[in-house]
Amino acid sequence: MTQEIKRVAILFAGGPAPAANSVIATAASSFMKEGIEVYGIKHGYSSLAEYTAAGPMREGVDYIKFTNEMLAHARTSRGIMIGTARTNPGKHVSSPEHLDDAELSAPLRRVYEGLVSMGVDALISIGGDDTLKTANKMKMFQDRLPADAKKFPVVHLPKTIDNDYMGIDFTFGYFTAVETLAEEIRNLNYDASAGRAYFICEAMGRSAGWLAYGAAIAGEASMVLSVEDIAGSLRGEEVVNAETGETRPVMEIDRVIDRMVDMMLARERQGREYGVIVIAEGLAEFLPSKQLEGIDRDEHGHIAIAQINLGAMISGLLARRYQERTGKSRKVNGLQLGYECRCAPPHAFDVMLGSQLGVGAYRALHEEKLNGVMVSVSGQLDLHFVPFEKLVDPETLVTKVRFIERDSDFYKLARFLETCVED
């Protein structure tokens, strides 16, 4: 993209993450230093997806124009200065062919027309894998426009406290979220010790266990289990469709519970009748279908995990199984953790990482003249620009999840530090 950029739009979508304002403010100030106007789209794609020519985008309501005064002290502040939303304008587009369907691609067209009406010359999207998918679809939509139509480059900045993003080592906000949850786990350890009890802490992490593992390591939990651990004897197959014979993996929940009891008994032999077990919320996806009946799904197809309350479910099963095996009772409490860490005060590393990503957006668009890339950071905050096509499946337009590798040293660290249980 060689066109001159005079006005940039920044958009944040999905769940909050610490250091969000580090990213937004640094990106905005970088462009403003060059005399480029920067607009902050308020609350994700919600207004753009409903744009019509009869109802133009309104400054102060649908977007703001950044000023130097707005950006003062913003990089270390909490929350998201332009708000967020989960509106997904590309939800009906699941293959490249769908972009040629006027009805399926209508929300994307409204987003495009809304941004064009504002005179935008480039779009910076900040968000998780679903937002990355939308950014890719936005680029592909424009690739299909007539040659004389206005087109603007799209650059994406990765965001998720779950840290399950392909193409980057750590996402901004992850370490702040880990520390926030770890502090709660440390408090619970003292509570558990005082009452000879156990806590089951359900941590966020729908697809991978990065947050659960990090919080367990830093919080000195007794055990951590995530989707990566549903393997071997803990993994079973369930027939979902009787006609096609299709199966999906489920966890052998009785064996999972027995593994927890084994850990409790090992700690008792050490003279410790208490502990904290951290589980990732994504384990709910491995429940048998009968336990997921009636659970709502969002527009991305994800089950509403909050409706399940996995921590409470596991705590009840664990208390009963412990009593069956020992003849003794042990108080087990289930807690859901996660929301309290999404807007926690950002730690220094996350501020630095977020700031570098913001600068990366400026360098990608203004210096490198790139389009359709995700900004990445590795090593000593070295910047990289990863093309969308390396992150998104070209046929399904779906991103890949980055799991914790079971043979990695990070995984082994958690196993080494927790109470030893033989497989």
Instruction: Answer whether residue 242 shows pLDDT above 70.
Output: no
pLDDT of residue 423: 56
Residue pointed to by tokens 């193409």 = 167
Q: Residues 208, 263: one domain? A: yes
Q: Residues 362, 288: one domain? A: no
pLDDT of residue 182: 97
The residue range of the domain holding 50 is: 7-171+346-390
397 belongs to a structural domain: no
Residue 300's pLDDT band, with cuts at 50, 70 and 90, is low
Q: What is the average pLDDT across 313-323? A: 96
pLDDT of residue 118: 95
Q: Residues 166, 313: one domain? A: no
For helices 210-219 and 174-195, angle between their N-to-C axes, nearest 10 degrees: 50
68 belongs to a structural domain: yes
| Distance from C-alpha of 363 to C-alpha of 108, rounded to nearest angstrom | 26
| Distance from C-alpha of 263 to C-alpha of 272, rounded to nearest angstrom | 11
Instruction: Answer whether residue 19 shows pLDDT above 90.
Output: yes
| Distance from C-alpha of 178 to C-alpha of 59, rounded to nearest angstrom | 36
Q: Residues 338, 354: one domain? A: no
pLDDT tens readout for residues 168-220:
999 999 999 999 999 999 999 999 999 999 999 999 988 899 999 999 999 99
Instruction: Answer whether residue 36 shows pLDDT above 90.
Output: yes
User: What CATH number does the domain containing 143 carry?
Assistant: 3.40.50.450
Instruction: Answer whether residue 243 shows pLDDT above 70.
Output: no
- Tell the burial category of 161 from Cβ atoms under 10 Å away from its Cβ (0-12, 13-18, 19+): buried
Residue 299's pLDDT band, with cuts at 50, 70 and 90, is low
How many domains, in total, are found in the chain?
2
218 belongs to a structural domain: yes
Instruction: Answer whether residue 323 shows pLDDT above 70.
Output: yes
User: What CATH number does the domain containing 317 carry?
Assistant: 3.40.50.460
395 belongs to a structural domain: no
Chain Cα centroid distance, residue 177: 12
pTM of the model: 0.92
Bridge-based pairing state of the strands 63-65 and 37-41: antiparallel
| Distance from C-alpha of 163 to C-alpha of 282, rounded to nearest angstrom | 14
On average, the pLDDT of the chain sits at 92
2 belongs to a structural domain: no
232 belongs to a structural domain: yes
Calculate the dihedral angle through the C-alpha atoms of 379, 204, 28, 65, rounding to the nearest 10 degrees: 170
pLDDT of residue 422: 63
Q: Which two tokens stand for residue 354?
A: 């977020």
What b/e sequence results for 83-105 when a residue is b if at least 16 CB atoms lie within 10 Å of its CB, and e otherwise? bbbbbbbbbebeeeebbeeeebb
Instruction: Answer whether residue 134 shows pLDDT above 80.
Output: yes
Partnered with residue 201 across adjacent β-strands are 278, 335
Instruction: Answer whether residue 240 shows pLDDT above 80.
Output: no
Residue type, 148: D
399 belongs to a structural domain: no
Q: Residues 278, 376: one domain? A: no
Residue 307's pLDDT band, with cuts at 50, 70 and 90, is confident
Q: Which two tokens stand for residue 42?
A: 């308020």
Instruction: Answer whether residue 304 shows pLDDT above 80.
Output: no
161 belongs to a structural domain: yes
pLDDT of residue 291: 77
| Distance from C-alpha of 283 to C-alpha of 231, rounded to nearest angstrom | 12
Q: Residues 60, 130: one domain? A: yes
| Distance from C-alpha of 243 to C-alpha of 187, rounded to nearest angstrom | 51
Are the C-beta atoms of residues 194 and 272 closer than 8 Å to each other?
no
| Distance from C-alpha of 139 to C-alpha of 397, rounded to nearest angstrom | 12
Instruction: Answer whether residue 285 shows pLDDT above 70.
Output: yes
pLDDT of residue 48: 95
Q: Residues 247, 318: one domain? A: yes
Q: Residues 69, 185: one domain? A: no
Q: Residues 303, 383: one domain? A: no
Residue type, 278: V
Q: Residues 194, 337: one domain? A: yes
- Three-state SS string over the chain comes to CCCCCCEEEEEECCCCCCCHHHHHHHHHHHHHCCCCEEEEECCCCCCHHHCECCECCCECCCEEECCHHHHCCCCCCCCCCCCCCCCCCCCCCCCHHHHHCCCCCHHHHHHHHHHHHCCCCEEEEEECHHHHHHHHHHHHHHHCCCCCCCCCCEEEEEECCCCCECCCCCCECHHHHHHHHHHHHHHHHHHHHHHCCEEEEEECCCCCCHHHHHHHHHHCCCEEECHHHCCHHHEEEEECCCCCCCEEEEECHHHHHHHHHHHHHHHHHCCCCCEEEEEEHHHHHHCCHHHCCCCCECCCCCECHHHCCHHHHHHHHHHHHHHHHHCCCCCEEEEECCHHHCCCCCCHHHHHHHHHHHHHHHHHHHHCCCCCEEEEEECCCEEEEEEHHHCECCCCCCECECCCCCCCHHHHHHHHHCCCCCC
Are the C-beta atoms of residues 123 and 152 closer than 8 Å to each other?
yes
Q: Residues 190, 336: one domain? A: yes
Residue pointed to by tokens 């919320």 = 281
Q: Residues 35, 21: one domain? A: yes
